[in-house]
Chain A
Amino acid sequence: MTVFLIRRLLQTLAVLFAVSLVVFVGLYAVGNPADILLPDDATEVERQAAIRSLGLDQPLIVQYGLFLKNALSGDLGRSFVYNEPSIKLILARFPATLELALSALFIAMVLGFPLGLYAGLHPGTRMERAIMTGSILGFSLPNFWQGLMLILIFSIGLGWLPSSGRGQTGSLFGIETSFATWDGIRHLILPATNLALFKLALVIRLTRAQVRETMPLDFVKFGRARGLTERRIVGVHVAKTIAAPIVTVIGMELGSVIAFAVVTESIFAWPGMGKLIIDSINRLDRPVVAAYLLVITFLFILINLVVDLLYTALDPRVRLGGKS
């Protein structure tokens, strides 16, 4: 276990280093931030001064070295635009995105698992076909279009739910969150649903496939031959067997839901990290983009670790590090 964690830590550092290099070179190639930051009527002298103060006059390798050195001491640079530490900007918006992502995954699981289970247990029925057709729509219709339709129907058409912003937040266990107020929850429903639809389809299809693979196995028949109820067989034996792969996929998806909440946050004007990153890319605010990508990379690695640990808890046959 300790060996496993140490090995993971070293892998994490290697990955972060590689990502930082790619990000830095990529951003350098995109364009010169000074062109965008400075007003059109700035003189050449002002321009040169600004470039020097941002450190953009140094060669790429020097800039990267400086970035790495600062990063190792926990400083990911100051935003060109806000003149604040970029990590602080990102973390300030992180709760809103996390809240959205967790709500979306929650919806996807709470609806997707039972629907997938039903579809897997009743193949060929009309209900199964309806569920599967619905799930195809779920992941083949473009996400942004689904978002617009949600707004059109539930905000504009029916007027039930607000379509933009985070609404009023309240404090719950010392954390600023939408869950604390009714207004906050109302604001959360549409964007969370939008973000959930794709994952919902995924969970349904995955669960169904797993159930259909597991039901013909001998241990299901042996369960019946022992006189267990169908409820016990499906609810305990089958559910626990398929839990490990499903948790793995959902865990991986949490990372992607956080990273790709960008579209949903843009549509619903959700004040999360995704919106910040889009704005920062447009303004070539390099430190914020770099910091964002490193934070997301770190999140992915962290989630993978948690998933691996969960997997061993769910499936006793799996041992960490491949050794017993």
Chain B
Amino acid sequence: MSALLEVRGLKTHFYTRAGVVKAVDGIDFTLNAGEVLGLVGESGSGKTVASFSVLGLIDPPGRIVEGSIKFKGEELVGSPVSRMRQLRGRDIAMVFQDPMMTLTPVLKIETQMIETVLAHETVSRKAARDRSIEVLRRVGIPTPEDRIGAYPHQFSGGMRQRVAIAIALLHAPALILADEPTTALDVTIQGQIIAEMQKLVAETGTAMIWVSHDLAVVETIADSVAVMYAGRVVEHGPSANVIGRPAHPYTEGLLNSIPSRTTPGKRLNQIPGMAPSVLNLAPGCPFAPRCPYEQPACAEIPPARNIGPEHMARCITPLTRELT
């Protein structure tokens, strides 16, 4: 089976006045049809830029400087704007982080859904509207035939995110990029949305990239996990392996930072220091300054090493012990 999405050596840099920001600096990953990939990292690790790069939605001064993104075998890097527009929303859809900001506040839900249908298909407005109502029902909006005439501000945050998800599902895309879709929501709503999306992608066989800083969320939804740090993927593998037996010290640090994993009464674990600025990255392993296992050999960028089947880590001394 050929891969649905193949990203090779992708570099997306931003040419700012202060210098070149290497937000994404050479990442590789592969996604098969129907698979869910969790893209994990701290703020500024490049995970959002990576997902926007797939859609070609990098605004100047940023641009993709190198690498290849193949979707169903078609090269997307350097592909004309008109072709990208055809793919966006139809074959690759996106759900954004903040549902308060993604829908245009002055237009009715109806208008925004119908225009999304009509952007890719020639059908009557009536047919487009009927389909929109159907999809709203599927994502759990009660009485969608009434609610479709409302404005975004008349919905709660969770309901708005459901509407955004419905818009993403309108064309039954092969791939959905979900950029922290539950971060801005209440915990109870988070759980609902995650369960809902899990069900929807399973039903339709849609592949998904779930961008998040929350390993606990990713653990429940993703088949495989890619951990990003300073613009690179530092560990990649099946979620059970990456989360159960992390090989990179950074992944271990992330897992230890989840409060529920700590024994009650014990101090919370944290990774010392801050995520480095990708503006002026020191040579060598970018995580070395914060790494408890740092050694002289870390002064050079470590190559990707295979840890197990389909499990890769960029560390010269990958961890081998089980997490307790």
Residues of A near any B CB (own CB < 8 A): 216-219, 221-229, 232, 236-237, 240-241, 244, 314-317
Given A225-B57, A225-B89, A227-B89, check contact A236 B107 (CB 8 Å).
yes
A227, B86: Cβ atoms closer than 8 Å: yes
Binds A, one of B37-45, B98-106, B196-204, B315-323: B98-106
Contacts of B119 in A (CB 8 A): 226-229, 232
A317's partner among B59, B88, B90, B105 (CB-CB below 8 A) is B105
Given A219-B101, A232-B119, check contact A314 B106 (CB 8 Å).
yes
Residues of B near any A CB (own CB < 8 A): 55, 57, 59, 85-90, 93-94, 96, 98, 101-107, 115-116, 119-120, 151, 153, 164, 167
Contacts of A244 in B (CB 8 A): 106
Contacts of A219 in B (CB 8 A): 101-105
CB-nearest residue of chain A to B153: A317
Given A218-B101, A225-B88, check contact A316 B120 (CB 8 Å).
no
Contacts of B120 in A (CB 8 A): 227
Contacts of B88 in A (CB 8 A): 224-227
Contacts of B87 in A (CB 8 A): 227
CB-nearest residue of chain B to A124: B60
Contacts of A229 in B (CB 8 A): 85, 119
Contacts of A216 in B (CB 8 A): 59
B115's partner among A228, A316, A317 (CB-CB below 8 A) is A228
Contacts of A217 in B (CB 8 A): 101
CA distance A222 to B164 in the complex (A): 9
CB-nearest residue of chain B to A244: B106
B191 to chain A minimum Cβ distance, whole angstroms, is 24
Contacts of B102 in A (CB 8 A): 218-219, 222
CB-nearest residue of chain A to B116: A226
Contacts of A316 in B (CB 8 A): 105-106, 151, 153
Contacts of B89 in A (CB 8 A): 225-228
Contacts of B96 in A (CB 8 A): 218, 221-222, 225
B153, A227: Cβ atoms closer than 8 Å: no
A5 to chain B minimum Cβ distance, whole angstroms, is 24
| Most chain A CB within a 10 A radius of its CB, from B86, B104, B115, B167 | B104
B156 to chain A minimum Cβ distance, whole angstroms, is 15
B103, A317: Cβ atoms closer than 8 Å: no
Q: List 10 A-B contacts (CB under 8 A).
A: A217-B101, A221-B96, A225-B93, A225-B96, A227-B89, A227-B90, A314-B106, A315-B105, A315-B106, A317-B151
A309 to chain B minimum Cβ distance, whole angstroms, is 16
B314 to chain A minimum Cβ distance, whole angstroms, is 30
Contacts of A225 in B (CB 8 A): 55, 57, 88-89, 93-94, 96
CA distance A237 to B120 in the complex (A): 18
A226, B167: Cβ atoms closer than 8 Å: yes
A39 to chain B minimum Cβ distance, whole angstroms, is 65
CA distance A229 to B164 in the complex (A): 18
CA distance A224 to B167 in the complex (A): 13
Given A222-B94, A226-B167, A227-B87, check contact A240 B116 (CB 8 Å).
no
Given A218-B98, A222-B96, A316-B153, check contact A237 B107 (CB 8 Å).
yes
